[in-house]
Structure 1
């Protein structure tokens, strides 16, 4: 591990290692500013908010496990659509998110979770050739395509957002 990476937060390192292990061509970037929201990330990267692949964690009401929805930053996840696909879900608090994923809210990556979540990918991300996802810390991001996202996560693509 290079010296610069060693100085980064644990979640960022975990994501960097997972991406490298899967042969992902883009190492994560550590931004000078925190990007806890899709808008903050888009502003920092100079891209549209829709190109931000935001991670939204729900809690399965039947299994108690994390359900991760990776959605386009300009869309709102529809909890009813998610529940129709995976069973009843509810909102997850910060402690649940940290315990299940190993990441804090604002830095939840679609990969390298402490406990693998049930994952769904928003089909609206496929409007873009290039998207950006969180890399395990509010200052961390990485570039990928929607196709690479499905390959990295093994997750199905679904209609999980409210119509604009």
Structure 2
């Protein structure tokens, strides 16, 4: 098992979550590929997106069926500007690579926001620290492990 996946499992267990990381036969490069592989709706995939918010990394866990409206989200959270983080910022903040960023297992706590649209799925799937691992969680478990704040990532 990869060290990044082991870190995810450690964080899950430390928060009392007994979910098992699932290895995919091949990496899932998109939320749709992950959904197809797992046999779930696209919206049940929790994309872990690192953004630069006023030059600081934040993690937004959003439904695979949604796009983050960065202008709306910046206003809602009180940031001047939110933009996609460069790969170097993603790696420094999470210890993981784009495509495998998990909601936890990071070297230090990361300010995290969780898309309320994920609440509509009894089980959601997030990356397990590598592009070929996924972990099932409930919405409440995702909030717990990330210490995240619920937000809407797009205007209603």
Q: Are 1:39 and 2:32 matched, yes or no?
A: yes
Give the corresponding residue for 2:22: 29
| Residues in 2 aligned to 1:162 and 1:93: alpha-carbon distance in whole angstroms | 25
Aligned length: 154
Shift of 1:21: 2.0
Structure 1 unpaired stretches of 5+: 1-7
| Residues in 2 aligned to 1:65 and 1:14: alpha-carbon distance in whole angstroms | 23
Structure 1 consecutive aligned stretches of length 4 or more whose deviation exceeds 4 Å: none
Q: How does 1:83-162 map to 2 (within 5 A)?
A: 83-84=74-75, 85-87=77-79, 88-161=81-154
Structure 2 unpaired stretches of 5+: none
Shift of 1:162: 5.6
Q: Deviations over 1:4-59 (max 9, x none)?
A: xxxx2221111112112222121211111101311111111111110000011101
| Residues in 2 aligned to 1:50 and 1:100: alpha-carbon distance in whole angstroms | 25
Tell me, yes or no, if the aligned pair for 2:5 and 2:105 is still in contact at 8 Å. Answer: no
TM-score by length of 1: 0.88
| Residues in 2 aligned to 1:66 and 1:86: alpha-carbon distance in whole angstroms | 14
Shift of 1:161: 2.9
TM-score by length of 2: 0.92
Shift of 1:65: 2.2
The one of 74, 80, 92 aligned to 2:65: 74
What is the SS of the residue equivalent to 2:112? strand
- After superposition, the CA RMSD in angstroms is 1.4
Shift of 1:82: 2.0
What is the SS of the residue equivalent to 1:57? strand
Tell me, yes or no, if the aligned pair for 1:65 and 1:100 is still in contact at 8 Å. Answer: no
Tell me, yes or no, if the aligned pair for 2:11 and 2:145 is still in contact at 8 Å. Answer: no
| Residues in 2 aligned to 1:152 and 1:10: alpha-carbon distance in whole angstroms | 18
